[in-house]
Structure 1
Amino acid sequence: MRGLQDEHAGVRIAHQRKLAGLTQRGMAAQLPFSYSLLRQVEEGRKNASPDLVSAVARLLRIDVTVLTGQPYVTELQQDKLATLIRPIREALDLYDLMDGHGPDPRTAAELAAEADELCRMVRATQLSRASHALPPLIAEVTTAVHRAPTTPLWQTLGSAYRTAHDIATKLGFYDLATIALDRLGWAAERGSDPLLAAVRQYMRALAYFREGEHSIGLRLIDTGHRAAGQADQEARETLAVRGQLHLGAGVIAARAHDGDAVAAHLREAASYAERTGEAGRIHWLSFGPANVAVHEVSAQVEMRRYGKALEKSRDVLLPHGWAMSRRAHFYVDRARAEMETGRSDAALGSLMTARKLAPQQTRYHPGARETINGLVAQRRRTPDTLDNLAAWLGR
């Protein structure tokens, strides 16, 4: 069996570099990172940061998932999640083949309620339950909307597509997530829902953020603002979507190490949050003052200002009832900052908290996996808890 250290991103970077015929010095010369850092990452002595991974992927013209190892097929098989992906893929593919025949669908209200419940499941990281229920819901809503194409039904279908995107993203199937976003745009256009269209652009921007394409991501954010401009500008829903767009832009700017742009977008987001308060059920965004604070921590981590990230994290108060998925993501970010500042015990504690809150999400989160790898590399003798956490990843 391969050890945990054998599967870290540094090993994959070294393998892809050699396939491209590059030396470490040759590749480092074409990256905004030092030769010393690249060498340490490949040897597993330094953590592979997301911006380093995306920079290498762009240089070598490969997908980021080649370097992160996603999707984690062995773990997906162990969790019996791998078999759930094909039915979702088929449901997304048959969007234009529902001709209104077959059993009568439930009422629009009943379908909307189930779509909301599946969103809740994903936010609670109950990925298996949501994955099982999603394909038949998509089929039923598609039948219903072809029979009676109303805006509420198109919005429900858009919600189902959003859930498909979230599941695919959390499990590392980014090609499927892209298809789901295409379907979301299709439903938003037919439902004449500008805010749903804006949310889609926000999610597309995050996909390019993952790949390190900062300028494209920011252009998509601007497109999202233009879409939101067609909605009622004083409505709480519009304010929340616009605020979330600024949060997305802030994290993208952070990956590009543009501190001024980060500060500007966070200020804009905070101004919207003052007007909305905590808004948790607007196209299933978790926008509000808490999310602004959490994104500020993420931005500091992306800019590798780990001490500042820890300082900001101490001021974060997560609201009661906040989505488990968002809580866990915050603890993964904090764990990375703690590890990078030598607080290994604290980082381990944050990872264990993330695991407790959202076990499936944490297991498939590339940041959590790389942080665990970094902790293992930092310690010549690991405590039982860290050994168990590493084994839990299937290595």
Structure 2
Amino acid sequence: MPELAVEHVGTRIAEYRKRARLTQRELAQRIPYSYSLLHQVERGHKSASPDLVSAVAKALRVDVTALTGQPYVAELQQDRLEGMIRPIRESLDLYDLGADPELAPRPVTTLVSEADDLCRQVRATHLHRAAAALPGLIAEITTAACRTPCTEVWQALGSAYRTAHDVAVKLGFYDLSTIALDRMGWAAERASDPLLAAVRQYMRALVYFREGEHTVGLRLVALGHDMVRQAEVTRASLAVAGQLHLGATVIAARARRADDVRTHLREATGHARRTGEAMHVHWLSFGPTNVAVHEVSAAVEMHQYGQALGKAARIALPHGWPMSRRSHFYIDRARSEMETGHTESALGSLVTARRLAPQQTRYHPGARETIKALLHMQRRTPDTLNHMADWINL
């Protein structure tokens, strides 16, 4: 099959490798992947897995987004999302400007409810709706916090900042997501809320996971556990602690630390037995299902694709589980199916992910790379795959 005629992750790796004046063999010696694989990735004959991309980015000292090409501007323009980023960015700069004299905030209970609803919308993958409402709500809560500061309003502001982070990550604006996390920490400190602060450490850890900085990510998880221990032992604190263990699971898996993977999964399983399905606790979707889904993700990260498929086949996603998590599960499943040669099943999983969460799937680097890889693996390209390729502007 011919090489892709458009720019893809492999071509960007080649471009930055050449800028660093490295041959393919020299770069391969700096990452835990073979020259043969790197050669095929650069030519577009193999998909660039997230762990390979992060390893190359670290070796070449560039951001992961430089290699993935995020944000995907053409798609954002088509979905009318690009224009919503600047208002969110501006709203994050209001934190130290004091109260807006032209705003009359609604009651705190209403603001808390609105912030919670935005978290719900993101998990339902209503990204356009959440992104449109977010700047105004942040401005309103910021003014309320300046005029009548209290724990509840600071917590609501922290929640709104967390939504800004989630939207930014899903659309590929990672610089903006980092700013949102900084603001989240600022609000959590004023709320004196150790669980909100711990959730922020979990999200920070995933930032370093994406960049391939495993040691820093695991240190942030440990810091999150320290914060949880400052709170009373409740269902909420157990859920946050359990989610921290799940974050550590995938970080350790990408670092090929199998013993740590087992340890964190065991701890998370113990917490899940005590909490049950705690889908709405800090909107972490923690519980037995999320533990099982992270087992699949860990197997994928360790390239144990057969095991991942076996584990995935035993998972029954409960009714009401967030669409964002469902879609992510099917994207992981598609990668495992593609890597084991089950190309029709992989395409089916991607179609399911798209049906469940179209915008999230469209902007997910892993989904896009799997679509591109399937194009090279198919001797005759099915119409469905052609439609998926057109959908990501390939």
Residue 334 of structure 2 aligns with an amino acid whose one-letter code is: A
Pair 1:173-2:173 in alignment: yes
Counterpart secondary structure, 1:281? coil
Counterpart of 2:196, as a letter, is: L
Cα deviation for residue 8 of structure 1 reads 2.1
Aligned to 1:313: 312
In the alignment, which residue of structure 2 is the partner of 1:112?
A: 112
Distance 2:158 2:5 in 1: 41
Matched position secondary structure for 1:262: helix
Aligned equivalents of 1:103, 1:374: Cα separation in 2 = 51
Give the structure 1 partner of residue 158 of structure 2.
158
Q: Counterpart of 1:22 in 2: which secondary structure?
A: coil
Q: Partner of 1:185 in structure 2?
A: 185
Q: Does 1:65 align with 2:43?
A: no
In the TM superposition, 1:341-356 aligns within 5 A as 341-356=340-355
- d(CA) in 2 for partners of 1:119, 1:4: 38
Cα 1:47–1:231 change in 2 (3 A) is: same
Which residue of structure 2 lines up, in the alignment, with residue 231 of structure 1? 231
Give yes or no for contact 1:5–1:373 (8 Å, CA) kept in 2. no
Q: What is the distance in 2 between the residues matched to 1:96 and 1:125?
A: 30
Q: Distance in 2 between matches of 1:220 and 1:103?
A: 37
**C-alpha contact (below 8 Å) 2:4/2:44 kept by paired residues:** no
Other-structure match for 1:46: 46
Code of the aligned partner of 2:154: W
For 1:252, the equivalent position in structure 2 comes to 251
Q: Amino acid of the residue matched to residue 143 of structure 1?
A: T
For residues 112 and 82 of structure 2, the distance between their equivalents in structure 1, rounded to whole angstroms, comes to 27
Distance 2:15 2:378 in 1: 25
| Alignment of structure 1 residues 1-395 onto 2, 5 Å | 6-99=6-99, 101-233=101-233, 235-395=234-394
CA distance in structure 2 between the aligned counterparts of 1:7 and 1:361, rounded to whole angstroms = 21
Q: CA deviation at 1:380?
A: 2.5
Q: How far 1:100 moved relative to its partner?
A: 5.3
Task: Measure the CA separation in 1 of the matches of 2:148 and 2:314.
Answer: 49
4+ residue runs of structure 1 moved beyond 4 angstroms? none
CA–CA distance in 1 between the matches of 2:61 and 2:29?
Answer: 16
Choose 211-220 or 101-110, whichever is displaced more.
Answer: 101-110
| Distance in 2 of aligned mates of 1:83 and 1:98 | 26
Distance across 2 between alignment mates of 1:272 and 1:48: 34
Contact persistence 1:100–1:146 (CA under 8 A): no
Distance 2:4 2:88 in 1: 31
Preserved contact between residue 94 and residue 142 of structure 2 (Cα < 8 Å): no
Shift of 1:304: 0.4
More off after superposition, 104-113 vs 289-298: 104-113
Structure 2 stretches of 5 or more lacking a match?
A: none
Distance 2:350 2:310 in 1: 18
How many Å apart are 1:5 and its aligned residue?
5.2
The separation in 2 between residues aligned to 1:6 and 1:266, in whole angstroms, is 40
CA-CA distance at 1:4 after TM superposition: 5.8
Q: Per-residue deviation at 1:228?
A: 0.6
For the residue of structure 2 that corresponds to 1:282, the secondary structure is coil
CA drift at 1:6: 2.2
* Aligned amino acid, residue 109 of structure 2: A
- Deviation of residue 394 (structure 1)? 1.6
Deviation of 1:104 (Å)? 2.1
Structure 1, unaligned stretches of length 5 or more? none
- C-alpha RMSD of matched pairs (Å): 1.0
What SS does the aligned partner of 1:6 have?
coil
- Measured in 2, the distance between the counterparts of 1:24 and 1:7 equals 18
| TM, length-normalised to structure 1 | 0.98
For 1:16, give the aligned amino acid: Y
Question: What amino acid is the match of 1:161?
Answer: Y
Q: Aligned partners of 1:199, 1:383: CA distance in 2, in Å? A: 43
Aligned residues: 392
Check 1:4–1:354 CA distance in 2 against 1; reply closer, same or farther (3 A cut). Answer: farther
SS at match of 1:155: helix
Q: Compute the displacement of 1:11 (Å).
A: 1.2
CA distance in 2, matches of 1:14, 1:138: 41
SS in structure 2 opposite 1:287?
Answer: coil
Judge conservation of contact 2:103–2:143 (CA < 8 Å) in 1.
no
1:41–1:47 contact (8 Å) kept in structure 2 = yes
Counterpart-to-counterpart distance in 2, 1:98 and 1:338: 53
Q: Please report how far the alpha carbon of residue 299 of structure 1 lies from its aligned counterpart in structure 2 after TM superposition.
A: 0.4
